[in-house]
Amino acid sequence: MGSAPITEKDKLMMGLIQGVSFFEHSKANDHRGYFRRISDLDEIRNHASLKFVQSSVSFNATKGTVRGLHFQSAPSLEWKYVTCLSGSLFDCLVDVRRDSLTYGKHMSFELSEENGKSVLIPPGVAHGFQTLEDKTLINYQMSEVFNSTRARNLLWNDTSLSIEWPLDVTKISASDAQGEPWPVEF
């Protein structure tokens, strides 16, 4: 007996952004520690037909660090698959695709080593996070090679978005602090 897949319409009714998918990965514990697979391309292809071509990590030494809200402008079709490897973070997504049913909506959730969740983020959805613990490590897999001429940055604290960041900001880059105000063009 299996469960029915969640449709895009169901996701919209639950307040999720169109095209965003979540994955939860269990741990196999033993006396050495644990083993966890964090991505399975066959599983991901049930949600999107893509191949990852680049992988990066983001280490954040200090709780309260903000990065984002980043996206690649059109015609980029960059998908991101984000996993927290250690620590925890408040993750935030904003839909900047004018033709999307969820344009202008944002959603937030926690990713952590403990909960083992990953998120698949479609093109045209800005991504940012704030660390909830010191020494938080995040893994990114991307479907396109980073293109600095298409890199965009939505202002993380734009008041028209009404994102409730959980902590005071302890660290942020100059470029993230000076992001573009809403609305932005994908």
Given the residues 25, 47, 103, 140, select the one marked as catalytic. 140
- On whether the CB atoms of residues 121 and 80 are closer than 8 A, the answer is yes
103 given a catalytic annotation: no
Given the residues 70, 81, 106, 127, select the one marked as catalytic. 70
Residue 159 DSSP code: T
140 given a catalytic annotation: yes
The Cα–Cα gap between 18 and 12 comes to: 7
| 47 contacts: CB under 8 Å, gap ≥ 6 | 21, 120
Given the structure tokens 């045209």, which residue do they identify? Answer: 124
Which active-site residues does the annotation give?
70, 140
